[in-house]
């Protein structure tokens, strides 16, 4: 029955999407927890690659960021994990 296979495919897609969202949420939570630790360590706002200050605008946009824009681009160019 085509209807049943369509339903199964849709259900499988939804499960996959939910798992991907859950993984993304976990990753975001880990980044936030790491940012809180950097606040405690007094290293929050410093790039982990260059040790330069991260611009306020970037921190307001992505408070858990670890890198300046230039460092993040360099990591992306190298295919590195952020």
54-66 tens-digit pLDDT? 999 999 999 999 9
pTM: 0.68
Q: How many helices (H) and strands (E) does the chain have?
A: 3, 0
Query: What is the spatial distance between Cα 41 and Cα 39, in angstroms, rounded to a whole number?
Result: 5
Q: What is the pLDDT of residue 51?
A: 96
CATH architecture of 2-78: Up-down Bundle (1.20)
- What is d(CA 4, CA 21) in angstroms, rounded to the nearest whole number? 25
């Amino acid at each position: 029955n085509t209807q049943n296979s369509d339903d199964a495919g849709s259900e499988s897609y939804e499960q996959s999407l939910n798992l991907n969202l859950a993984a993304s949420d976990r990753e975001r939570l880990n980044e936030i927890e790491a940012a809180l630790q950097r606040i405690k360590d007094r290293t929050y706002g410093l790039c982990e690659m260059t040790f330069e200050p991260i611009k306020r605008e970037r921190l307001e946009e992505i408070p858990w960021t670890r890198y300046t824009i230039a460092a993040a681009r360099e990591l992306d160019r190298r295919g590195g994990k952020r």
